[in-house]
Structure 1
Protein backbone atom coordinates (compact mmCIF):
# COMPACT_ATOMS: atom_id res chain seq x y z
CA UNK A 1 0.00 0.00 0.00
CA UNK A 2 0.94 3.61 -0.27
CA UNK A 3 1.44 5.60 2.91
CA UNK A 4 -2.15 6.15 4.00
CA UNK A 5 -1.50 6.45 7.70
CA UNK A 6 -4.13 7.99 9.91
CA UNK A 7 -3.99 9.84 13.20
CA UNK A 8 -4.66 7.63 16.23
CA UNK A 9 -8.34 7.37 17.06
CA UNK A 10 -9.61 8.97 20.23
CA UNK A 11 -11.16 6.74 22.86
CA UNK A 12 -14.91 6.45 23.01
CA UNK A 13 -16.22 9.63 24.61
CA UNK A 14 -18.95 9.58 27.26
CA UNK A 15 -21.41 11.05 24.74
CA UNK A 16 -21.12 8.08 22.36
CA UNK A 17 -23.95 5.97 23.85
CA UNK A 18 -26.19 9.03 23.64
CA UNK A 19 -25.23 9.63 20.00
CA UNK A 20 -26.07 6.01 19.18
CA UNK A 21 -29.35 6.27 21.06
CA UNK A 22 -30.29 9.30 18.96
CA UNK A 23 -29.38 7.39 15.78
CA UNK A 24 -31.66 4.53 16.82
CA UNK A 25 -34.45 6.91 17.73
CA UNK A 26 -34.30 8.57 14.31
CA UNK A 27 -34.95 5.14 12.81
CA UNK A 28 -37.48 4.01 15.39
CA UNK A 29 -35.25 1.09 16.43
CA UNK A 30 -35.22 -0.24 19.96
CA UNK A 31 -31.87 -1.91 19.27
CA UNK A 32 -29.17 -2.87 16.78
CA UNK A 33 -27.93 -6.28 15.63
CA UNK A 34 -24.22 -6.44 14.82
CA UNK A 35 -23.14 -9.59 12.98
CA UNK A 36 -19.40 -8.84 13.05
CA UNK A 37 -18.01 -8.36 16.55
CA UNK A 38 -14.98 -10.16 17.98
CA UNK A 39 -14.87 -12.05 21.24
CA UNK A 40 -12.26 -14.76 21.70
CA UNK A 41 -9.98 -16.16 24.40
CA UNK A 42 -8.16 -13.25 26.02
CA UNK A 43 -4.67 -14.45 25.15
CA UNK A 44 -5.71 -14.88 21.51
CA UNK A 45 -7.34 -11.45 21.40
CA UNK A 46 -4.24 -9.84 22.89
CA UNK A 47 -2.15 -11.45 20.14
CA UNK A 48 -4.57 -9.98 17.59
CA UNK A 49 -4.19 -6.55 19.19
CA UNK A 50 -0.41 -6.90 19.13
CA UNK A 51 -0.62 -7.71 15.41
CA UNK A 52 -2.44 -4.43 14.83
CA UNK A 53 -0.08 -2.53 17.14
CA UNK A 54 2.99 -3.75 15.25
CA UNK A 55 1.54 -3.38 11.75
CA UNK A 56 1.53 -7.05 10.83
CA UNK A 57 1.88 -7.92 7.13
CA UNK A 58 -1.88 -8.17 6.54
CA UNK A 59 -2.34 -4.64 7.91
CA UNK A 60 0.19 -2.96 5.65
CA UNK A 61 1.38 0.49 6.70
CA UNK A 62 -1.89 1.60 8.26
CA UNK A 63 -1.90 3.06 11.75
CA UNK A 64 -4.58 1.00 13.49
CA UNK A 65 -5.09 1.89 17.16
CA UNK A 66 -7.60 -0.33 18.97
CA UNK A 67 -10.36 1.95 20.26
CA UNK A 68 -12.00 -0.51 22.66
CA UNK A 69 -9.01 -2.16 24.34
CA UNK A 70 -11.02 -3.28 27.36
CA UNK A 71 -11.63 -6.41 29.40
CA UNK A 72 -14.29 -8.81 28.15
CA UNK A 73 -16.98 -7.79 30.64
CA UNK A 74 -16.46 -4.13 29.84
CA UNK A 75 -16.78 -4.80 26.12
CA UNK A 76 -20.04 -6.71 26.45
CA UNK A 77 -21.41 -4.02 28.76
CA UNK A 78 -20.45 -1.32 26.27
CA UNK A 79 -22.23 -3.05 23.39
CA UNK A 80 -25.35 -3.28 25.53
CA UNK A 81 -25.00 0.40 26.42
CA UNK A 82 -24.87 1.12 22.68
CA UNK A 83 -28.19 -0.68 22.30
CA UNK A 84 -26.79 -3.72 20.47
CA UNK A 85 -29.34 -6.42 21.30
CA UNK A 86 -27.50 -9.26 19.53
CA UNK A 87 -23.88 -9.69 18.45
CA UNK A 88 -21.37 -12.39 17.54
CA UNK A 89 -18.06 -13.76 18.80
CA UNK A 90 -16.12 -13.84 15.54
CA UNK A 91 -13.02 -15.98 16.07
CA UNK A 92 -10.85 -17.90 13.65
CA UNK A 93 -7.89 -20.29 13.47
CA UNK A 94 -4.72 -19.53 11.55
CA UNK A 95 -3.45 -23.11 11.56
CA UNK A 96 -4.72 -26.69 11.89
CA UNK A 97 -5.76 -27.92 15.31
CA UNK A 98 -7.12 -24.61 16.62
CA UNK A 99 -10.76 -24.68 15.55
CA UNK A 100 -12.00 -27.33 17.98
CA UNK A 101 -10.80 -25.54 21.12
CA UNK A 102 -11.87 -22.15 19.76
CA UNK A 103 -15.33 -23.61 19.22
CA UNK A 104 -15.35 -24.96 22.78
CA UNK A 105 -14.50 -21.49 24.10
CA UNK A 106 -17.16 -19.86 21.92
CA UNK A 107 -19.82 -22.30 23.10
CA UNK A 108 -18.98 -21.45 26.71
CA UNK A 109 -19.02 -17.72 25.95
CA UNK A 110 -22.43 -17.99 24.28
CA UNK A 111 -23.70 -19.95 27.26
CA UNK A 112 -22.80 -17.15 29.66
CA UNK A 113 -23.65 -14.33 27.25
CA UNK A 114 -27.29 -14.75 26.16
CA UNK A 115 -27.24 -11.83 23.70
CA UNK A 116 -24.30 -13.33 21.78
CA UNK A 117 -25.21 -15.53 18.82
CA UNK A 118 -23.38 -18.83 19.37
CA UNK A 119 -20.46 -18.59 16.94
CA UNK A 120 -18.11 -21.28 15.61
CA UNK A 121 -15.29 -21.50 13.10
CA UNK A 122 -13.52 -23.94 10.79
CA UNK A 123 -10.28 -24.65 8.93
CA UNK A 124 -9.40 -26.94 6.00
CA UNK A 125 -8.08 -29.98 7.85
CA UNK A 126 -8.87 -33.62 8.44
CA UNK A 127 -11.95 -33.94 10.65
CA UNK A 128 -13.38 -30.52 9.83
CA UNK A 129 -16.79 -31.89 8.84
CA UNK A 130 -16.96 -33.82 12.11
CA UNK A 131 -16.32 -30.84 14.37
CA UNK A 132 -18.52 -28.54 12.27
CA UNK A 133 -21.36 -31.04 12.69
CA UNK A 134 -20.66 -31.16 16.43
CA UNK A 135 -20.80 -27.36 16.65
CA UNK A 136 -24.09 -27.30 14.74
CA UNK A 137 -25.57 -29.95 17.00
CA UNK A 138 -24.36 -27.93 20.02
CA UNK A 139 -26.39 -24.95 18.81
CA UNK A 140 -24.00 -22.82 16.73
CA UNK A 141 -25.98 -20.19 14.84
CA UNK A 142 -23.23 -18.52 12.81
CA UNK A 143 -19.73 -19.48 11.63
CA UNK A 144 -16.68 -17.35 10.90
CA UNK A 145 -14.19 -18.09 8.12
CA UNK A 146 -11.12 -15.93 7.59
CA UNK A 147 -9.49 -16.70 4.25
CA UNK A 148 -6.91 -13.92 4.63
CA UNK A 149 -5.60 -14.86 8.09
CA UNK A 150 -5.96 -18.60 7.55
CA UNK A 151 -4.22 -18.34 4.16
CA UNK A 152 -6.39 -21.11 2.70
CA UNK A 153 -8.49 -21.62 -0.38
CA UNK A 154 -12.18 -21.70 0.65
CA UNK A 155 -12.74 -24.04 -2.30
CA UNK A 156 -10.28 -26.56 -0.82
CA UNK A 157 -11.81 -30.04 -1.11
CA UNK A 158 -11.24 -30.56 2.62
CA UNK A 159 -13.96 -27.98 3.28
CA UNK A 160 -16.47 -29.28 0.76
CA UNK A 161 -18.36 -31.50 3.19
CA UNK A 162 -18.49 -28.76 5.83
CA UNK A 163 -19.87 -26.22 3.35
CA UNK A 164 -22.51 -28.73 2.29
CA UNK A 165 -23.46 -29.40 5.90
CA UNK A 166 -23.80 -25.68 6.66
CA UNK A 167 -25.79 -25.08 3.47
CA UNK A 168 -28.22 -27.87 4.40
CA UNK A 169 -28.52 -26.52 7.96
CA UNK A 170 -29.08 -22.95 6.72
CA UNK A 171 -26.42 -21.61 9.09
CA UNK A 172 -24.80 -18.34 7.92
CA UNK A 173 -21.03 -18.02 7.56
CA UNK A 174 -19.39 -14.61 7.91
CA UNK A 175 -16.40 -14.91 5.58
CA UNK A 176 -13.51 -12.49 5.23
CA UNK A 177 -12.56 -13.18 1.64
CA UNK A 178 -11.92 -9.75 0.11
CA UNK A 179 -8.37 -8.55 -0.48
CA UNK A 180 -8.45 -5.74 2.06
CA UNK A 181 -6.63 -4.36 3.89
CA UNK A 182 -3.91 -6.39 2.13
CA UNK A 183 -4.36 -9.23 -0.38
CA UNK A 184 -3.74 -12.86 0.47
CA UNK A 185 -2.99 -15.84 -1.74
CA UNK A 186 -6.63 -16.93 -1.85
CA UNK A 187 -8.55 -13.67 -1.35
CA UNK A 188 -10.84 -12.17 -3.95
CA UNK A 189 -14.10 -13.29 -5.53
CA UNK A 190 -12.75 -16.22 -7.56
CA UNK A 191 -12.34 -18.83 -4.80
CA UNK A 192 -15.68 -17.90 -3.23
CA UNK A 193 -17.39 -18.14 -6.61
CA UNK A 194 -16.09 -21.71 -6.89
CA UNK A 195 -17.55 -22.54 -3.47
CA UNK A 196 -20.93 -21.10 -4.42
CA UNK A 197 -20.97 -22.95 -7.73
CA UNK A 198 -20.88 -26.18 -5.69
CA UNK A 199 -23.10 -24.96 -2.84
CA UNK A 200 -25.48 -22.30 -4.22
CA UNK A 201 -27.67 -22.38 -1.09
CA UNK A 202 -24.76 -21.63 1.26
CA UNK A 203 -25.57 -18.55 3.35
CA UNK A 204 -22.32 -16.64 3.02
CA UNK A 205 -22.12 -13.18 4.59
CA UNK A 206 -19.28 -11.38 2.82
CA UNK A 207 -17.38 -9.41 5.46
CA UNK A 208 -16.43 -5.78 4.86
CA UNK A 209 -18.69 -5.68 1.77
CA UNK A 210 -15.85 -7.62 0.12
CA UNK A 211 -13.46 -4.67 0.13
CA UNK A 212 -11.84 -3.68 -2.14
CA UNK A 213 -13.61 -5.98 -4.63
CA UNK A 214 -16.93 -4.39 -3.68
CA UNK A 215 -18.55 -4.66 -7.09
CA UNK A 216 -17.45 -8.24 -7.75
CA UNK A 217 -18.88 -9.44 -4.45
CA UNK A 218 -22.07 -7.45 -5.01
CA UNK A 219 -22.30 -9.40 -8.25
CA UNK A 220 -22.15 -12.69 -6.33
CA UNK A 221 -24.94 -11.46 -4.05
CA UNK A 222 -27.00 -10.56 -7.11
CA UNK A 223 -26.43 -14.03 -8.56
CA UNK A 224 -26.96 -16.10 -5.40
CA UNK A 225 -30.01 -15.33 -3.31
CA UNK A 226 -28.48 -16.54 -0.03
CA UNK A 227 -25.33 -14.41 -0.28
CA UNK A 228 -25.28 -11.35 1.94
CA UNK A 229 -22.87 -8.50 2.65
CA UNK A 230 -21.86 -7.00 5.99
CA UNK A 231 -20.96 -3.35 6.34
CA UNK A 232 -17.90 -3.85 8.56
CA UNK A 233 -15.67 -0.76 8.26
CA UNK A 234 -17.07 0.06 4.80
CA UNK A 235 -18.00 3.68 4.03
CA UNK A 236 -16.19 5.02 7.13
CA UNK A 237 -13.75 7.92 6.79
CA UNK A 238 -10.93 5.57 7.79
CA UNK A 239 -11.60 3.07 5.00
CA UNK A 240 -12.56 5.61 2.38
CA UNK A 241 -9.01 6.98 2.54
CA UNK A 242 -7.45 3.83 1.13
CA UNK A 243 -10.22 1.56 -0.23
CA UNK A 244 -13.12 3.83 -1.18
CA UNK A 245 -16.45 2.38 -2.14
CA UNK A 246 -17.28 3.29 -5.77
CA UNK A 247 -20.30 5.64 -5.85
CA UNK A 248 -21.50 4.00 -9.08
CA UNK A 249 -22.18 0.80 -7.09
CA UNK A 250 -24.47 2.41 -4.50
CA UNK A 251 -27.68 1.72 -6.49
CA UNK A 252 -26.75 -1.97 -6.45
CA UNK A 253 -26.29 -1.87 -2.67
CA UNK A 254 -29.63 -0.12 -2.34
CA UNK A 255 -31.28 -2.85 -4.41
CA UNK A 256 -29.67 -5.50 -2.18
CA UNK A 257 -31.08 -3.77 0.89
CA UNK A 258 -32.69 -6.93 2.25
CA UNK A 259 -29.30 -8.71 2.27
CA UNK A 260 -26.97 -6.09 3.76
CA UNK A 261 -26.24 -6.53 7.48
CA UNK A 262 -24.66 -4.25 10.05
CA UNK A 263 -21.13 -5.24 11.01
CA UNK A 264 -18.57 -3.17 12.90
CA UNK A 265 -15.40 -5.17 13.81
CA UNK A 266 -15.84 -4.07 17.43
CA UNK A 267 -13.60 -3.88 19.45
CA UNK A 268 -10.80 -3.93 16.87
CA UNK A 269 -11.68 -0.66 15.17
CA UNK A 270 -9.48 2.46 14.96
CA UNK A 271 -12.38 4.88 15.57
CA UNK A 272 -15.54 5.12 17.71
CA UNK A 273 -18.36 2.67 16.98
CA UNK A 274 -20.82 5.43 16.15
CA UNK A 275 -18.77 6.34 13.05
CA UNK A 276 -19.94 3.13 11.34
CA UNK A 277 -23.57 4.12 11.91
CA UNK A 278 -23.10 7.67 10.71
CA UNK A 279 -21.22 6.43 7.64
CA UNK A 280 -24.24 4.32 6.69
CA UNK A 281 -26.56 7.23 7.35
CA UNK A 282 -24.52 9.48 5.05
CA UNK A 283 -25.18 7.14 2.12
CA UNK A 284 -28.71 8.59 2.04
CA UNK A 285 -30.26 5.32 0.94
CA UNK A 286 -33.34 5.99 3.06
CA UNK A 287 -34.60 5.13 6.53
CA UNK A 288 -36.20 1.88 5.40
CA UNK A 289 -32.84 0.68 4.05
CA UNK A 290 -31.08 1.74 7.26
CA UNK A 291 -33.62 0.01 9.51
CA UNK A 292 -33.26 -3.18 7.51
CA UNK A 293 -29.45 -3.07 7.60
CA UNK A 294 -29.13 -2.17 11.27
CA UNK A 295 -31.71 -4.58 12.60
CA UNK A 296 -34.44 -6.16 10.49
CA UNK A 297 -32.35 -8.19 8.03
CA UNK A 298 -30.36 -9.91 10.77
CA UNK A 299 -33.47 -10.36 12.92
CA UNK A 300 -35.12 -12.21 10.04
CA UNK A 301 -32.02 -14.26 9.19
CA UNK A 302 -31.43 -15.42 12.77
CA UNK A 303 -35.06 -15.55 13.86
CA UNK A 304 -34.57 -12.95 16.58
Structure 2
Protein backbone atom coordinates (compact mmCIF):
# COMPACT_ATOMS: atom_id res chain seq x y z
CA UNK A 1 0.00 0.00 0.00
CA UNK A 2 1.31 3.44 -0.93
CA UNK A 3 2.25 5.83 1.83
CA UNK A 4 1.00 9.40 1.80
CA UNK A 5 4.43 10.55 0.66
CA UNK A 6 4.56 7.99 -2.15
CA UNK A 7 1.14 9.10 -3.40
CA UNK A 8 2.19 12.74 -3.37
CA UNK A 9 5.51 11.97 -5.08
CA UNK A 10 3.72 10.06 -7.83
CA UNK A 11 1.25 12.92 -8.31
CA UNK A 12 4.06 15.49 -8.59
CA UNK A 13 5.93 13.36 -11.13
CA UNK A 14 2.72 12.77 -13.08
CA UNK A 15 2.11 16.52 -13.26
CA UNK A 16 5.56 17.04 -14.79
CA UNK A 17 5.06 14.15 -17.20
CA UNK A 18 1.72 15.54 -18.40
CA UNK A 19 3.54 18.76 -19.32
CA UNK A 20 6.27 16.85 -21.13
CA UNK A 21 8.90 17.82 -18.57
CA UNK A 22 11.69 15.60 -17.21
CA UNK A 23 11.07 17.07 -13.75
CA UNK A 24 10.69 20.30 -11.79
CA UNK A 25 13.28 22.93 -10.90
CA UNK A 26 12.59 24.63 -7.57
CA UNK A 27 14.52 27.86 -7.06
CA UNK A 28 13.31 28.53 -3.52
CA UNK A 29 13.98 25.74 -1.03
CA UNK A 30 15.64 26.10 2.35
CA UNK A 31 18.59 24.12 3.65
CA UNK A 32 20.80 25.57 6.37
CA UNK A 33 22.82 24.46 9.40
CA UNK A 34 20.73 22.35 11.77
CA UNK A 35 20.86 24.78 14.67
CA UNK A 36 19.78 27.64 12.40
CA UNK A 37 16.93 25.64 10.89
CA UNK A 38 15.75 24.71 14.39
CA UNK A 39 15.57 28.39 15.29
CA UNK A 40 13.69 29.19 12.09
CA UNK A 41 11.15 26.46 12.84
CA UNK A 42 10.80 27.66 16.43
CA UNK A 43 10.02 31.16 15.10
CA UNK A 44 7.31 29.77 12.84
CA UNK A 45 5.95 27.66 15.70
CA UNK A 46 5.63 30.78 17.82
CA UNK A 47 3.99 32.72 14.97
CA UNK A 48 6.57 35.46 15.42
CA UNK A 49 5.95 39.04 14.24
CA UNK A 50 7.41 38.41 10.77
CA UNK A 51 5.05 35.43 10.38
CA UNK A 52 1.97 36.79 12.09
CA UNK A 53 -0.24 33.70 11.90
CA UNK A 54 -0.36 30.00 12.66
CA UNK A 55 2.13 28.33 10.32
CA UNK A 56 2.67 24.57 10.70
CA UNK A 57 5.77 23.18 8.98
CA UNK A 58 4.66 20.46 6.56
CA UNK A 59 8.06 18.85 5.99
CA UNK A 60 9.73 18.91 9.39
CA UNK A 61 12.26 16.17 8.68
CA UNK A 62 15.99 15.78 9.05
CA UNK A 63 18.19 17.05 6.25
CA UNK A 64 18.71 13.73 4.48
CA UNK A 65 14.98 13.00 4.46
CA UNK A 66 14.18 16.44 3.06
CA UNK A 67 16.65 15.92 0.21
CA UNK A 68 15.20 12.46 -0.44
CA UNK A 69 11.67 13.82 -0.62
CA UNK A 70 12.60 16.46 -3.18
CA UNK A 71 14.28 13.78 -5.27
CA UNK A 72 11.23 11.55 -4.91
CA UNK A 73 9.15 14.45 -6.25
CA UNK A 74 11.36 14.49 -9.33
CA UNK A 75 12.87 17.87 -8.48
CA UNK A 76 15.93 18.03 -10.70
CA UNK A 77 17.57 21.01 -9.02
CA UNK A 78 16.87 23.05 -5.91
CA UNK A 79 18.55 25.66 -3.72
CA UNK A 80 19.72 26.04 -0.13
CA UNK A 81 18.24 29.45 0.62
CA UNK A 82 19.91 30.69 3.81
CA UNK A 83 20.36 34.17 5.18
CA UNK A 84 21.94 36.08 8.08
CA UNK A 85 20.02 38.24 10.53
CA UNK A 86 23.07 40.05 11.91
CA UNK A 87 26.65 40.99 10.96
CA UNK A 88 29.39 38.38 11.09
CA UNK A 89 27.12 35.51 10.11
CA UNK A 90 27.10 35.38 6.31
CA UNK A 91 30.63 34.05 5.73
CA UNK A 92 29.97 31.16 8.13
CA UNK A 93 26.70 30.34 6.38
CA UNK A 94 28.48 30.42 3.03
CA UNK A 95 31.07 27.93 4.26
CA UNK A 96 28.27 25.56 5.31
CA UNK A 97 26.49 26.03 1.98
CA UNK A 98 29.67 25.25 0.03
CA UNK A 99 29.96 21.94 1.87
CA UNK A 100 26.25 21.17 1.40
CA UNK A 101 26.48 21.80 -2.35
CA UNK A 102 29.56 19.59 -2.61
CA UNK A 103 27.73 16.64 -1.04
CA UNK A 104 24.39 17.40 -2.72
CA UNK A 105 25.08 17.73 -6.45
CA UNK A 106 21.46 18.52 -7.37
CA UNK A 107 21.53 21.58 -5.11
CA UNK A 108 22.46 24.84 -6.82
CA UNK A 109 25.37 26.17 -4.78
CA UNK A 110 23.77 28.99 -2.78
CA UNK A 111 25.38 31.84 -0.85
CA UNK A 112 24.30 34.96 1.00
CA UNK A 113 25.52 38.33 2.31
CA UNK A 114 24.84 41.15 4.77
CA UNK A 115 25.61 44.90 4.53
CA UNK A 116 28.88 44.91 6.44
CA UNK A 117 32.55 45.69 5.84
CA UNK A 118 34.18 42.79 4.03
CA UNK A 119 30.97 41.62 2.36
CA UNK A 120 32.46 42.03 -1.10
CA UNK A 121 35.41 39.82 -0.12
CA UNK A 122 33.33 36.84 0.98
CA UNK A 123 30.89 37.30 -1.91
CA UNK A 124 33.80 37.24 -4.36
CA UNK A 125 35.13 34.14 -2.62
CA UNK A 126 31.73 32.44 -2.85
CA UNK A 127 31.52 33.18 -6.57
CA UNK A 128 35.03 31.79 -7.08
CA UNK A 129 34.00 28.64 -5.22
CA UNK A 130 31.11 28.15 -7.61
CA UNK A 131 28.09 29.87 -6.05
CA UNK A 132 25.31 29.99 -8.67
CA UNK A 133 22.65 31.85 -6.71
CA UNK A 134 22.57 34.19 -3.69
CA UNK A 135 19.82 34.80 -1.16
CA UNK A 136 18.90 38.15 0.35
CA UNK A 137 16.17 38.48 2.99
CA UNK A 138 15.45 42.15 3.55
CA UNK A 139 12.68 41.44 6.05
CA UNK A 140 14.60 39.08 8.36
CA UNK A 141 17.93 40.85 7.94
CA UNK A 142 16.25 44.20 8.61
CA UNK A 143 18.54 46.03 6.21
CA UNK A 144 18.19 48.42 3.32
CA UNK A 145 19.20 46.69 0.06
CA UNK A 146 20.21 50.12 -1.28
CA UNK A 147 22.70 50.60 1.58
CA UNK A 148 25.95 51.73 -0.02
CA UNK A 149 27.78 49.00 1.93
CA UNK A 150 26.18 46.61 -0.57
CA UNK A 151 27.25 48.51 -3.69
CA UNK A 152 30.43 46.41 -4.13
CA UNK A 153 28.34 43.25 -3.66
CA UNK A 154 25.73 44.25 -6.24
CA UNK A 155 28.51 45.25 -8.60
CA UNK A 156 30.16 41.84 -8.32
CA UNK A 157 26.89 40.01 -8.83
CA UNK A 158 25.98 42.14 -11.82
CA UNK A 159 29.31 41.54 -13.53
CA UNK A 160 29.32 37.81 -12.74
CA UNK A 161 25.65 37.55 -13.81
CA UNK A 162 24.86 35.49 -10.71
CA UNK A 163 21.19 35.83 -9.69
CA UNK A 164 20.03 36.82 -6.21
CA UNK A 165 16.69 35.58 -4.90
CA UNK A 166 15.56 38.51 -2.77
CA UNK A 167 12.68 38.60 -0.30
CA UNK A 168 11.84 42.28 -0.52
CA UNK A 169 8.04 42.43 -0.64
CA UNK A 170 6.10 43.37 2.48
CA UNK A 171 4.47 39.98 2.98
CA UNK A 172 3.69 38.18 5.14
CA UNK A 173 4.46 41.18 7.36
CA UNK A 174 6.21 44.43 6.40
CA UNK A 175 9.71 45.29 7.50
CA UNK A 176 11.43 48.65 7.76
CA UNK A 177 13.00 48.27 4.30
CA UNK A 178 10.54 46.10 2.39
CA UNK A 179 8.64 47.25 -0.67
CA UNK A 180 9.63 48.22 -4.21
CA UNK A 181 11.33 51.58 -3.58
CA UNK A 182 14.66 50.27 -2.16
CA UNK A 183 14.89 47.79 -5.05
CA UNK A 184 14.16 50.56 -7.53
CA UNK A 185 17.10 52.50 -6.07
CA UNK A 186 19.38 49.45 -6.38
CA UNK A 187 18.37 48.96 -10.02
CA UNK A 188 19.04 52.60 -10.80
CA UNK A 189 22.67 51.97 -9.85
CA UNK A 190 22.88 48.41 -11.19
CA UNK A 191 20.41 48.15 -14.09
CA UNK A 192 21.71 44.75 -15.30
CA UNK A 193 21.58 43.14 -11.86
CA UNK A 194 19.93 39.69 -12.09
CA UNK A 195 17.34 39.63 -9.31
CA UNK A 196 14.63 37.06 -8.63
CA UNK A 197 11.89 38.75 -6.61
CA UNK A 198 10.72 36.16 -4.09
CA UNK A 199 6.98 35.56 -3.65
CA UNK A 200 6.44 37.77 -6.72
CA UNK A 201 6.88 40.73 -4.37
CA UNK A 202 3.82 39.85 -2.27
CA UNK A 203 1.73 41.94 -1.74
CA UNK A 204 3.18 44.71 -3.96
CA UNK A 205 2.58 42.60 -7.04
CA UNK A 206 1.91 45.38 -9.54
CA UNK A 207 4.94 47.42 -8.52
CA UNK A 208 7.36 44.50 -8.81
CA UNK A 209 5.90 43.41 -12.14
CA UNK A 210 6.47 46.99 -13.28
CA UNK A 211 10.13 46.70 -12.24
CA UNK A 212 10.46 43.46 -14.17
CA UNK A 213 8.84 45.12 -17.16
CA UNK A 214 11.47 47.84 -17.17
CA UNK A 215 14.51 45.68 -16.26
CA UNK A 216 15.02 42.57 -18.36
CA UNK A 217 17.34 40.95 -15.79
CA UNK A 218 14.61 40.99 -13.11
CA UNK A 219 12.70 37.74 -12.61
CA UNK A 220 10.06 36.69 -10.06
CA UNK A 221 9.44 33.41 -8.28
CA UNK A 222 6.06 31.89 -7.48
CA UNK A 223 6.89 30.93 -3.90
CA UNK A 224 3.63 30.43 -1.95
CA UNK A 225 1.67 32.48 -4.48
CA UNK A 226 -1.81 31.44 -5.60
CA UNK A 227 -2.22 28.90 -2.78
CA UNK A 228 -5.29 29.02 -0.56
CA UNK A 229 -3.02 29.82 2.40
CA UNK A 230 -1.61 32.97 0.77
CA UNK A 231 -4.78 33.98 -1.04
CA UNK A 232 -6.60 34.11 2.30
CA UNK A 233 -4.71 37.29 3.19
CA UNK A 234 -2.70 38.51 0.18
CA UNK A 235 -4.23 37.33 -3.10
CA UNK A 236 -2.86 38.63 -6.36
CA UNK A 237 -5.50 40.88 -7.95
CA UNK A 238 -7.10 39.46 -11.09
CA UNK A 239 -5.72 42.23 -13.29
CA UNK A 240 -2.18 41.36 -12.18
CA UNK A 241 -2.75 37.63 -12.74
CA UNK A 242 -3.69 38.48 -16.31
CA UNK A 243 -0.34 40.26 -16.73
CA UNK A 244 1.56 37.04 -15.98
CA UNK A 245 1.07 35.78 -19.53
CA UNK A 246 3.43 38.57 -20.63
CA UNK A 247 6.18 37.37 -18.26
CA UNK A 248 6.38 33.77 -19.41
CA UNK A 249 10.16 33.92 -19.69
CA UNK A 250 10.75 35.71 -16.38
CA UNK A 251 8.82 33.68 -13.78
CA UNK A 252 10.38 30.74 -11.92
CA UNK A 253 8.78 28.10 -9.73
CA UNK A 254 9.61 28.28 -6.03
CA UNK A 255 8.00 26.42 -3.14
CA UNK A 256 9.56 27.48 0.21
CA UNK A 257 10.02 23.77 1.01
CA UNK A 258 10.20 22.59 3.77
CA UNK A 259 8.68 25.63 5.51
CA UNK A 260 5.25 25.40 3.91
CA UNK A 261 1.96 24.74 5.74
CA UNK A 262 0.47 22.57 2.97
CA UNK A 263 1.56 19.76 0.62
CA UNK A 264 4.22 20.40 -2.01
CA UNK A 265 1.78 19.29 -4.70
CA UNK A 266 -0.50 22.19 -3.79
CA UNK A 267 2.23 24.70 -4.64
CA UNK A 268 2.54 23.21 -8.10
CA UNK A 269 -1.18 22.95 -8.71
CA UNK A 270 -1.60 26.57 -7.67
CA UNK A 271 0.65 27.55 -10.58
CA UNK A 272 -0.76 25.13 -13.16
CA UNK A 273 -4.29 26.09 -12.14
CA UNK A 274 -3.99 29.71 -13.24
CA UNK A 275 -5.41 28.93 -16.66
CA UNK A 276 -2.25 29.90 -18.55
CA UNK A 277 -1.16 27.69 -21.44
CA UNK A 278 1.12 24.67 -21.12
CA UNK A 279 4.09 26.39 -22.74
CA UNK A 280 3.91 29.04 -20.00
CA UNK A 281 3.68 26.31 -17.36
CA UNK A 282 6.66 24.42 -18.79
CA UNK A 283 8.72 27.61 -18.80
CA UNK A 284 7.88 28.44 -15.19
CA UNK A 285 8.36 24.94 -13.78
CA UNK A 286 11.52 24.10 -15.68
CA UNK A 287 12.72 25.94 -18.78
CA UNK A 288 13.29 29.43 -17.35
CA UNK A 289 15.50 28.07 -14.56
CA UNK A 290 17.45 25.96 -17.07
CA UNK A 291 18.21 29.13 -19.01
CA UNK A 292 18.90 31.42 -16.04
CA UNK A 293 21.17 28.95 -14.23
CA UNK A 294 22.59 27.27 -17.35
CA UNK A 295 21.32 23.82 -16.43
CA UNK A 296 20.91 22.30 -19.89
CA UNK A 297 22.72 19.11 -18.84
CA UNK A 298 20.10 18.20 -16.21
CA UNK A 299 18.75 14.67 -16.28
CA UNK A 300 16.26 12.80 -14.10
CA UNK A 301 18.05 11.23 -11.15
- Please classify the TM superposition score into its range, dividing by the shorter chain length: over 0.9
Equivalent residue in structure 1 for 2:12, among 8, 20, 23: 20
Secondary structure in 1 matching 2:239: helix
| 1:48 match | 40
- Return the offset for 1:63: 1.1
Q: Specify the alignment match of 2:280 in structure 1.
A: 289
TM-superposed deviation, 1:156: 0.1
Matched, 1:278 2:269: yes
1:155 aligns with 146
> After superposition, where does 1:40-189 map in structure 2 within 5 Å?
40-60=32-52, 62-189=53-180
Q: CA deviation at 1:26?
A: 1.2
Determine the C-alpha separation between the residues in 2 that align with 1:279 and 1:206: 18
What secondary structure is seen at the aligned counterpart in 2 of 1:229? strand
Asked if 1:37 is matched to 2:29, the reply is yes
Asked if the contact 2:17–2:23 (Cα under 8 Å) also holds between the matched residues in 1, the reply is: no
Paired residue for 1:202?
A: 193
Cα distance in 2, alignment partners of residues 69 and 230 from structure 1: 23
SS of 1:175's partner is strand
CA distance in 2, matches of 1:106, 1:296: 25
Structure 1 stretch 242-251 or stretch 102-111: which is displaced more? 242-251
| Corresponding residue for residue 299 of structure 2 | none
Residue 220 of structure 2 contacts residue 251 of structure 2 at CA under 8 Å; is this kept in 1? yes
Kept after mapping to 2: 8 A contact 1:38/1:265: yes
What do the CA deviations read for 1:47-76 (whole angstroms, capped 9, x no partner)? 00000000111011x110000000000000
Secondary structure of 2:249's counterpart equals helix
CA distance in 2, matches of 1:139, 1:17: 30
Contact persistence 1:120–1:144 (CA under 8 A): yes
Contact 1:163–1:199 under 8 Å retained in 2: yes
Specify the SS of the correspondent of 1:270: coil
Which whole-Å CA distance do the structure 1 matches of 2:11 and 2:236 have between them?
25
Per the alignment, residue 298 of structure 2 pairs with none
Task: Name the counterpart of 1:224.
Answer: 215
- Alignment partners' CA distance in 2, 1:271 and 1:205: 23
Runs of 4+ in 1 over 2 A off after TM superposition: 11-14
CA deviation map 1:96-115 (0-9, x unaligned) = 00000000000000000000
Distance 1:14 1:46 in 2: 26
Q: Which runs of 5+ in 1 are unaligned?
A: 1-10
- Secondary structure of the equivalent of 2:134? strand
CA RMSD of aligned residues (A): 0.9
Pick closer, same or farther for the CA change 1:44–1:216 going to 2, 3 Å. same
Provide the residue aligned with 1:5 in structure 2: none
**What is the aligned length?**
293
Q: What displacement does 1:230 show?
A: 0.2
- 1:251 Cα deviation (Å)? 2.6
TM-score (norm 2): 0.96
